[in-house]
Amino acid sequence: MHRTTRIKITELNPHLMCVLCGGYFIDATTIVECLHSFCKMCIVRYLETSKYCPICDVQVHKTKPLLNIRSDKTLQDIVYKLVPGLFKNEMKRRRDFYAEHPSVDAANGSNEDRGEVADEDKRIIADDEIISLSIEFFDHKYCQFNCRGEDEEVSQETNVKRYLQCPAAMTVMHLRKFLRSKMDIPCSFQIDVMYEDEPLKDYYTLMDIAYIYTWRRNGPLPLKYKVRPGCKKMKMSSPRDDVTNSRKPETESDSGSEKPNSPPAGAPSNSSSLPSPSTPAQSPHPNFPHISTINGAPTKPNGQTPLSSKVCKASVNGSPSLG
């Protein structure tokens, strides 16, 4: 089974930082020839004195290198979403700049260039942000009825939505624990938190869910849950244990049996080395399967010893005994 691992933001820094200024990308811009990215201001200043890439020295353009650079909005959105607080601080910095320099004409720039874009408009979510969500019980039968347009009144009465406000860093595991304690669900049942009809991983945060399923902030984050019986772990027994367990009751029954051939219960018994009369003894002679011995004494093919009704000589542990 594939195991998902979470990595730290510091491990991604080489892919998110500009080598010219040493900071995270701001207005990420990529060179067309080699696909290396930099901050827009950094690469424009650098290409004023050089026509080669700062990383791989490939020629950007012979005469006008600015023609072969492109703005990379996708990369910039990734940086804003991965680095906490970067977008908010950048927007504030731009607003402060234009407030201190009113003579600078910013009418030709976009709202983002002027710092007038909020986190909600850009769909940037911070770790400490409070997210509104709705949680309701997921029932497949009612879901089918709603799709067919039937029994809407029954489904609306049964599926009651609950509304919560939680930090964006809260995980699905915390939400499951909250539901278990709030609904008094026994530990023998498993709780699955779902988005539509897809179960969510325990390590997903509300921020991850909002990014993965492109939540537009047009209402509470819609979540569902279902309860199912938990899987009991079965103890795997080894073949040796099975053989031991299967032989144990036979040994106990033989020791306490009242058969004529069995020794008294109080007397010490050497019959542990003897097979029971009902089971044929295995022959130590592979070439002559009809001959078998019990402690050196030959037996008949049916597994019984040639004992007479009067006197029988047998060798039990090397000592002669009378029957």
- Domains annotated for the chain, with CATH where assigned, are 9-120 (3.30.40.10), 130-144+159-229 (3.10.20.90)
Residue 128: half-sphere exposure toward Cβ, Cα within 13 Å: 3
For residue 164, the cross-strand partners are: 133
Checking if the pLDDT of 309 tops 60, the result is: no
pLDDT confidence band for 153 (50 / 70 / 90): very low
Whole-structure pTM value: 0.56
- State the burial class of residue 136 (Cβ atoms within 10 Å of its Cβ: 0-12, 13-18, 19+): middle
Beta strands 313-316; 198-199: pairing state: unpaired
Segment 166-190 shows an average pLDDT of 91
Closest to 226 in 3D by CA, of 269, 258, 196, 257: 196
Mean pLDDT of the chain: 74
Dihedrals phi, psi of 186, to nearest 5 degrees = -65, 160
Checking if the pLDDT of 320 tops 70, the result is: no
Segment 307-323 shows an average pLDDT of 45
pLDDT confidence band for 173 (50 / 70 / 90): very high
Checking if the pLDDT of 16 tops 80, the result is: yes
Percent of the chain clearing pLDDT 90 (strictly above): 38
pLDDT the model gives residue 55: 95
pLDDT the model gives residue 154: 38
pLDDT the model gives residue 216: 83
